[in-house]
Structures are given as C-alpha cells and as structure tokens.
Amino acid sequence: MVLQILEIGVPLTVALNFVEDAEKRGITINTQKLEELLNVPVIPINPITKKGIPVLLNSLLEIKREKQSFRIEYDDHIEQAIREVSSQLKPSKKKAELPRRFIATRILEEDEDFYQYSKNENIIKEIKEEMPEHPKLSEDISVTRYGTASFIAEKVTRMFPLSESVEIEEKIDNVLLNKTWGPLVTGLFLFVLFGVLLFFGNWIQSILMNWTEFFISSFNRGESSALNIILANGFTGLIAGISIALPYVLPVFRVIGGYRSSFPIYY
C-alpha cells in the first residue's frame, strides 16, 4: 500500500504501528534504514501510550510537497509499455495533476477508473498484443510491486530468538486464543473464579453473622426499653444487609481492582 501511494507522488509520512508487539514476537524493524530506502519519514507510534504521536504530528505539519524520488522499476517490457501509454494520455486541465507514470501503470493494471485519461480506448488490447512475454500483465505488475515490498522488508527486518518466558507466553496465547480451547478455558476460569468467590463469601458471611448475633444479643440482655427495641431492630436490618452483601461484593471489587492495577493504561 505504501508503494502504491509513493507511485502517486503525494507527500507521505509512514506511521509504523504495533512495533512493541513485533518486538515481543522477536521482530525488530530498522526505521532509519526504511526511511532511507523509501525516502520518506518513518515514525514508530503507539496510539494507546501516545508514543511517537507528537513526532508524527510535527512531521505532518512540516511535510513538504516535494517530488518523491522513490519508484518501482519494472522489467524492460513493462517499462516500455508504461512509456507508450504515457505518451497517449490526454492533457490534464487540473492544477493537481496525477503523475503520468502512475496513471499509465493503473491503466496497464486494467483499472477502468483510469481509462478516461487515455486517448486510445483500445490501448490495453494493443499493448497486450505487442507483449507476448506478459500474457497476464496486471498480475506481473503486482508481482513486481510485492517483490519490491518483500525486498525492502528483508532489508529492514531482523528476527531474534525469543526468551524462554516469551515462548511460554506465546504458548499460552496459542491456547487462550484458540477457537476451541479459548472459550473452554475462559468458561472454566469463570467457573473457578465464582466458586472461589462464593466459598470465601460464605465464610466471611458466617463470621459477620456470628458478630451480628452477638451484637444483637447485647441489646436483648439490657433493659427492654423502647429505645433498645428500636436500636436492636435498626441495627439488625443494617448489619444483616452488610453481612449478606459485603462478603460477595468486596472480593469482586478486589479482583476488578487488581485487574485495573495490572492494566493502568486503559484507565
């Protein structure tokens, strides 16, 4: 996609995302070398942590409308066809004219949206008749473009062996993200989680209820006045409600709080 944009000749800045994810998988990208090969700014970014975003914004503000020096070199037959098609293009009346080479390439790739730029409606048919070496011309152009992209990727990408801890994480991810095992493991995890929460909730509830009974009995041992009766009934409802709800609510919030502290970036 970057190479196709470069063929248009518009000002371009490449924002390189998922760099940290690539490094976790043992892939490093030499952004400086990529800049040199493409001759455009290449800026690694992380939209979540905002890493590289200020640099990207500055690059966009300082972008220059200069002619791109990078271009894909096709074989001699295709280059000759590009020159022939370019020579038969209609003169443009627009100020922002698309590069003739780009238009010619798109016509050779049989993009019907660009046929309007050609004086000759049968240009594709005539070019194919003159080029028996390329019976599938559009595919050959795409293959060259993909080959150039692969060559650039090979030059700027390095692979390094993962550490043992990372390999274990990869194996865990392979299980958890599996279409079959992922839902099963998730369901089992939730089942165990709620089981543990209910177990501890019942245990805490029994302790709180014993305290509640002891507290209420202290009112009953005193004088049976109206005030004691009101206080006893009021505290019975209040403490009973806390004893029933708190043992289950508190562990859930503790789990959620631990989850949030593990991923502070999202909060």
pLDDT digits (tens, 9 = 90+) for 198-215: 777 777 777 777 776 666
User: Which residues does residue 14 pair with via DSSP β-bridges, in sequence order?
Assistant: 42
End-to-end Cα spacing for the chain? 34
Q: Where in the chain is the domain with CATH 1.10.287?
A: 76-157
42 vs 128 pLDDT, higher one: 42
Looking at the chain, the number of H-run helices and the number of E-run strands are 11, 4
| Least-confidence region, from 156-170, 196-210, 214-228 | 214-228
pLDDT at 226 over 60: yes
Q: Check if the beta carbon of residue 105 is closer than 8 Å to that of residue 138.
A: no
Angstrom distance (rounded) from CA 258 to CA 43: 34
Output the CA–CA distances (angstroms, integers) from residue 9 to 12, 39, 102, 262, in the order listed: 8, 12, 8, 45
User: What pLDDT does residue 265 have?
Assistant: 40
Mean pLDDT of the 217-239 span? 61
Which positions ≥6 away from 145 have C-beta within 8 Å?
A: 3, 4, 72
User: What pLDDT does residue 15 have?
Assistant: 94
Q: Check if the beta carbon of residue 52 is closer than 8 Å to that of residue 43.
A: yes
Q: Which two tokens stand for residue 225?
A: 């006045």
Determine whether 82 is exposed, middle or buried from the number of CB atoms within 10 Å of its CB (0-12, 13-18, 19+): buried
Amino acid, single-letter form, for residue 79: E
Q: Check if the beta carbon of residue 239 is closer than 8 Å to that of residue 215.
A: yes
Mean pLDDT of the 16-30 span? 88
Angstrom distance (rounded) from CA 89 to CA 202: 82
pLDDT at 237 over 70: no
The CATH code of domain 76-157 reads 1.10.287
Percentage of residues of the chain with pLDDT beyond 70: 72
User: Phi and psi at residue 27, in whole multiples of 5°?
Assistant: -120, 125
Q: Which among 212, 221, 215 has a CA at the least distance from the CA of 244?
A: 212
Determine whether 7 is exposed, middle or buried from the number of CB atoms within 10 Å of its CB (0-12, 13-18, 19+): buried
Amino acid, single-letter form, for residue 189: F
Q: Which two tokens stand for residue 235?
A: 């505290």
